[in-house]
Amino acid sequence: MSGKFITLEGIDGSGKTTQGYILEKELKKIGKEVIFTREPGGVPGAEEIRKLLVQGEKDRWSNITELLLFFAARRHHFEKILFPAIKAGKIVICDRFTDSTVIYQGRNNLQLANLIKQLHLSVIGIIPDLTLIIDVDPKKALNRGLKRRSKEMRFEAFGLEFQTNARNGYIELSKTDKRYHLVDGNNSEEKVHQLIWQKVFNFLGF
């Protein structure tokens, strides 16, 4: 595959969606063919599955059912957007990918962690070229998330301890492979963009 696959990761309210839009705009400005998409979702069928995942009571699904829903959404997104766009040589920026599943569903459950590895290998198979993890203070991030008051509160409802645990997971994960880059998100939007731009600039080599 000839394109580039960049993922944005971080806890809820870390600012990755805002940063994704800015990155997309700046890359387009210099003439790159870019797609900015997200998970769960990114394409109509997967957005329908997203609603099942992010709305409603926090214990509405068993953990295995929830995991399968994430992978159903991911496979559909992969078929419709990720694979064709990367194959066509585009830069694909994705707001969350399998690393989110590793952190949110797999971090405290060895059985699920193994299942995630197997599912990813058998039904997805692609690994991002570059993963930017936006690291923020969980308290700050949670307040930002709660201020949004969207319908999508299912994961925010897990609370501060859950977000802190996810943040620690991301910090540990960032040390496991050189595709990961931790970005300090406790800065202004502009400053965080500059930090991200530097990483993308070095990676794409222009």
Which residues of this protein are in contact with ligand TYD, per CB under 6 A?
A: 12, 17, 39-40, 54, 70, 95-96, 100-101, 104-105, 145, 155
Amino acid at 103: I
Q: To the nearest whole angstrom, how small is the minimum distance from the Cβ of residue 146 to ligand TYD?
A: 10
Asked whether 8 and 20 are in contact (CB, 8 A), the reply is yes
Tokens of 185: 């998100």
Q: To the nearest whole angstrom, how small is the minimum distance from the Cβ of residue 127 to ligand TYD?
A: 15
Q: To the nearest whole angstrom, how small is the minimum distance from the Cβ of residue 149 to ligand TYD?
A: 12
Q: To the nearest whole angstrom, how small is the minimum distance from the Cβ of residue 145 to ligand TYD?
A: 6
Q: Which is nearer to ligand TYD, 17 or 168 (CB)?
A: 17
Where helices occur in 35-137 by DSSP H, the ranges are 44-54, 63-77, 83-87, 98-104, 110-119
Q: To the nearest whole angstrom, how small is the minimum distance from the Cβ of residue 12 to ligand TYD?
A: 4
Q: Which is nearer to ligand TYD, 51 or 202 (CB)?
A: 51
Burial of 84 (0-12, 13-18, 19+ CB in 10 A): middle
What whole-number distance in Å separates Cα of residue 203 and Cα of residue 191?
19
Q: Which is nearer to ligand TYD, 70 or 170 (CB)?
A: 70
Q: Which is nearer to ligand TYD, 124 or 204 (CB)?
A: 124
Tokens of 203: 């990676």
- Which helix (H) or strand (E) is 61 found in, with range? none
Q: Which is nearer to ligand TYD, 89 or 159 (CB)?
A: 159
| Cβ-closest position to ligand TYD | 155
- Measured from the Cβ of residue 51, the count of other Cβ atoms closer than 10 Å reads 13
